[in-house]
A and B are shown apart, each in its own frame.
Chain A
């Protein structure tokens, strides 16, 4: 009986030896995702990076032996990249470049959606893209334009703006969570729109105390980088429910 007890104890102790933490960052399978301000995007077996003038495709099908492919020269002041299905939406200070990755080593430019100058992250869902334009010294926007634009991309060779909504200081965006669109307005808060009709963001709600810079939506989870903390909300209902706030060291 005693020997049995000791063996059982030994088994219990040994089984906890390696169990001090969840799976590590590198001992796992999956693909990361960025928000609308990212310069890196993974699409299938390729890593796409945008820098000031161009898009750099990197073949990572062999994860241990990445290979850079030929750069695609696009234009000036390239800032952001958003992958969606077989396309890449690249934001610059005066346009959104839409590229096809049907041939992943050689992304091909399908069209350019030009707009007035300004910093312009973009998110996409279905047949519509949502772009914010913001003024400010670093955004080279002399027109004082602060807007959210809805762009019809059902024909990718001919992106067409269908509406423009005045905002205060719009930056990063997030889309999802039961048909919602979130727009970060920095000091001016976080804005939520209902996107049940994707052509018509409505029922605007402002959360003025969340000074939001960037946002990511993952299923029902809304993660906001704010000026004083990283907030996480359950966004499944009409109003946000705070789950946690990681305070920042200020």
Chain B
């Protein structure tokens, strides 16, 4: 009787040890996984191209801004519509300004400030309704992954302009790329 109890205890202990060992094996796929970010590049000429297009139908407006009698309707990551609102009962869609990676606009005394990915660009629309870029403040806003503490593949500007980031994983901490937001 005592013998069988002992056998049972020993048996349970072995099972317990096995299962603990098994737990470790089972969870390793999930615990030892390290996240890092990789930059997605676009050709500079494409990423930094700011231009005027004829008036277009408005789809999915994001934010609106007012400037004198104009309405500025931002389309996230694309640019903004310019509307003549001198008569709010009859707004007139004038043109669209293409700004890749754009989210906001501010205008002062005719100078238009936009974010063009991580740069802040100042430009005017001349009398021929064309964009004339006056100034580009590079990386004024941020050019690292906006996701808290993170490691990332260091930016190689010879590859172009960083327009977004993708997530990747490694299984060993020392495999993480060296650049980090810390």
Residues in chain A within 8 A of chain B (CB atoms): 21-35, 37-42, 47, 49, 51-54, 56, 58, 60, 63-66, 68, 76, 213-214, 216, 218, 221, 223, 225, 230, 232, 243-244, 246, 248-250
Contact = CB atoms under 8 A, between A and B. Distances in A.
Contacts of B129: 24
A80 to B, nearest CB: 10
A230 B63 CA distance: 11
Nearest to B104: A40
Given A76-B148, A230-B91, 9 more contacts: A25-B124, A47-B113, A49-B141, A51-B146, A58-B113, A60-B113, A225-B62, A246-B91, A248-B58
B66 A218 contact: yes
A248 B140 contact: no
B32 interface: no
Interface in B31-84: 57-73, 82-84
B164 to A, nearest CB: 14
A58 B91 CA distance: 32
Given A32-B106, A66-B135, A248 B57 contact: yes
Contacts of B60: 248
Contact of A214 (B64, B88, B127): B64
A76 B93 CA distance: 37
Contacts of A49: 104, 115, 120, 140-141
Contact of B91 (A64, A76, A225, A232): A232
Interface string B81-103: 01111101111010000000001
A50 B65 CA distance: 16
A26 B111 contact: yes
A76 B148 CA distance: 8
A201 B112 CA distance: 36
B125 A33 contact: no
Contacts of B127: 24, 27
A153 to B, nearest CB: 24
Contact of B64 (A54, A63, A230): A230
B59 A40 contact: no
4 pairs of A and B residues whose beta carbons are closest in the complex: A249-B57, A52-B146, A26-B110, A26-B124
Contact of A30 (B64, B67, B73): B67
Contacts of B93: 246
A203 to B, nearest CB: 25
A56 to B, nearest CB: 6
B35 to A, nearest CB: 17
B86 to A, nearest CB: 6
A34 B109 contact: no
Contacts of A243: 88-89
29 contacts: A22-B86, A28-B109, A28-B110, A29-B109, A30-B68, A31-B67, A31-B107, A32-B106, A32-B107, A39-B104, A52-B142, A53-B142, A56-B140, A56-B141, A58-B137, A60-B108, A60-B111, A63-B122, A64-B122, A64-B135, A65-B135, A68-B140, A216-B66, A218-B66, A223-B64, A244-B88, A246-B83, A248-B59, A249-B59
Given A33-B65, A214-B64, A40 B105 contact: yes
Given A49-B141, A51-B146, A68-B137, A58 B67 contact: no
A41 B65 CA distance: 10
A201 B48 CA distance: 45
Interface centre among A29, A42, A49 (most CB of B within 10 A): A49
A132 B117 CA distance: 28
A58 B111 CA distance: 14
A32 B115 contact: no
Nearest to A227: B60
